[in-house]
Structure 1
Amino acid sequence: MTNFFKPILGLGFVLALAAQPAMAQTRPAANTGTVVAGLGVANLEAVLVNTSAFRTAEQQRPVTYKATIDQYQARARALQTQLQGLQQKLQKDAAVPNANQAALQQQLTAAQRVEEAGKNELNTLIRPVVYSREYVKEQIEEKMDAAVKAVMARRNVSLLLSPQSVILSTQSGYDLSQDIVTEINRVLPSATLTPPAGWEPREIREARAAQAAQPGAAAAPAAKPAAQPDSR
């Protein structure tokens, strides 16, 4: 028996959350042709991460949530050490001639349960940090549509494309990304870092709404009147 389970969610996740996003900008293309009026290109993902609100929040978050991140890191190390010990014992026992396969399977199952419980625990610990980033992103996304339309009107653009839809361009005059960043910075110079109590990311809210809209969903609570634990 060799490596039965993957390393538990480790510190790289938090480091990635705390790290500054790469500046997703491109070098201006050489002007070798005529710019077609009414066309524009914008990388809205790059726009979001290059706004002042997002970049400032990325700098503030490791400070504001330092206690949470420290707790997460300490627990991740402890769980990783525990899992490594379980794995080493399992490998040692498996190397014994005529090893009891049933006992080995029990060890493996127990180790996998520890791993799964550890991942759930870490996800719960780091949730405030993850929700903070998602809350900031949603605040910016709420301003995105109006900012894009304002820039398109100012630049007399009637058709906006994503960079993925452009095979090749020899003109830098089509790129509206920085103009959109500037517009969002004007209307949203900063974002609130900490979401209000009970807030959940849009993806979770939409999933709950879709589940509630399913036939028979409204009748489910009546069939089980006892209070249910909060799943958030």
Structure 2
Amino acid sequence: MKTIVKAAALILAPVTTLALTAVPASAQSKTGIAVADLQGAVGTSAAYTTARTQMQTTYKPQIDAFNARKTAIDTDLKTKGDALQAALKAAGGKPTPAIETQYQQFQQSQQAAQAELQKLGQPIALANAYVEEQITAKLSDALKAAMTKAKVDLVLNPEATVSYQPTVDITASVVTELNALVPSVGITPPAGWQPGRQGQAGAAAAPATPAQAPKSR
């Protein structure tokens, strides 16, 4: 009888061990990781590409006026900058009161130029922001759908990674989902519309950089 019990114990022992080790293994989460350039996805979406082309036509007068004025300002600032460098060189690299005054005037010209270009390019910048906001409103849904199809649980920005294989990049999938969710957008903001305020009237926000003709991302 003892021999039978011992034999049974030897047979059951490995089974019990396997059972105990199998539980934690099955409970572990096999996290799938991917990368996605969300800004790039918005910029290459069909809606954004089409809107950018439409803006080139609709806002052509503003774009041409902006570019012409920017060219004139750049030329003027270059002339003033060259004159400042020449004066400094003539003074042996030592700033004199006259050069200090010239430098301050140059800075004032730069600031005035930036303010002028921001104001001139504001309609273009506002329209571009309106286009982007319509698309990014669906970006979260597009990302979730792409993650589900790729069977991943975690998505990183490419800039947050050291290295990755192209196969883990789901940016193209996000673009596909965006195209389905937002096939097209408007390029003319409603009256009083401001970025992030959904049509609420308010003071216009100046663009972070001088606006130019819409460019691809």
- Shorter-chain-normalised TM-score: which range? 0.5 to 0.7
**Counterpart AA for 2:185:** A
1:173-188 maps to which residues of 2 (within 5 A)?
174-188=168-182
Aligned length: 169
Matches of 1:112 and 1:171 in 2, distance apart?
Answer: 46
Residues 86 and 144 of structure 1: CA distance in aligned 2, closer, same or farther (over 3 Å): closer
Residues 168 and 231 of structure 1: CA distance in aligned 2, closer, same or farther (over 3 Å): closer
Does structure 2 conserve the Cα–Cα contact (< 8 Å) formed by 1:41 and 1:177?
no
Q: Partner residue of 2:13?
A: none
Residues 96 and 132 of structure 1: CA distance in aligned 2, closer, same or farther (over 3 Å): same
Q: CA deviation at 1:198?
A: 2.9
Q: Partner residue of 2:189?
A: 195
Q: Partner residue of 1:105?
A: 100
1:141-152 maps to which residues of 2 (within 5 A)?
141-152=136-147
Matches of 1:85 and 1:161 in 2, distance apart?
Answer: 46
1:123-144 C-alpha deviation (Å, 9 max, x unpaired): 1111222222222222111101
Q: Partner residue of 1:133?
A: 128
1:39 aligns with 2:39: no
Identical residues among aligned pairs (%): 33
Q: Partner residue of 2:111?
A: 116
TM-score under structure 1 length normalisation? 0.59
Matches of 2:117 and 2:183 in 1, distance apart?
Answer: 33
Q: Partner residue of 1:62?
A: 56
Matches of 2:102 and 2:165 in 1, distance apart?
Answer: 62
SS state of the match for residue 201, structure 1?
Answer: coil
Matches of 2:99 and 2:154 in 1, distance apart?
Answer: 63
- Structure whose CA Rg is larger: 2
Q: Partner residue of 2:77?
A: 83
TM-score under structure 2 length normalisation? 0.62
Matches of 1:64 and 1:122 in 2, distance apart?
Answer: 19
RMSD value over aligned CA atoms? 3.3
Does structure 1 conserve the Cα–Cα contact (< 8 Å) formed by 2:127 and 2:189?
yes
Matches of 1:231 and 1:141 in 2, distance apart?
Answer: 20
Q: CA deviation at 1:108?
A: 2.6
SS state of the match for residue 53, structure 1?
Answer: helix
Structure 1 runs of 4+ with >6 Å offset = none
**Counterpart AA for 2:186:** T
**Unmatched segments (≥5 aa) in structure 1:** 1-35, 206-229
